[in-house]
Amino acid sequence: MAKKLVIKVTAGADAPERCSQAFTVAAVAVASGVEVSLWLTGESSWFALPGRAAEFELPHAAPLPDLLESVLAAGRVTLCTQCAARREITEKDVVEGVRIAGAQVFVQEALAEDTQALVY
């Protein structure tokens, strides 16, 4: 089993089941003691902003704000640099604990020893 898990979520409200799956897997992994790095890209970028996760709805799914909070508490959440720029999101706009970083950092994390990367 990988000791670290890097999850890139590209889906947001446009593909709610895929989005929810990514956040759920990240939260379950954190709760299981796995080191988790969750990357928000594409439409999931909006969830880096305060209050946006609360707008997400999917029947029979855990509330997105709760999942995000658990990952922020024990893991790392990163907003893609280019995705943020395209949406005019800056570091002063994001939820406390969310960092903005680019592809070089993602590749470095994904290729680290004992790491599994997943893309949703």
What pLDDT sits at residue 1?
A: 58
Q: What is the pTM of this model?
A: 0.96
- CA–CA–CA angle 46, 72, 62 (5° rounding): 70
Which among 98, 89, 33 is positioned nearest to 69, based on CA atoms? 98
Sign of dihedral through CA atoms 10, 110, 34, 38?
Answer: negative
Walking along the chain (120 residues) 10 residues at a time, the average pLDDT comes out as: 89 97 98 97 98 97 98 98 98 98 98 96
What pLDDT sits at residue 2?
A: 61
Which among 20, 3, 34 is positioned nearest to 120, based on CA atoms? 20
Coil/strand/helix, residue 4: strand
What pLDDT sits at residue 101?
A: 98
Bridge partners (DSSP) listed for residue 35: 4
Sign of dihedral through CA atoms 101, 106, 109, 112?
Answer: negative
Domains belonging to the chain, first-starting first, are 4-119 (3.40.1260.10)
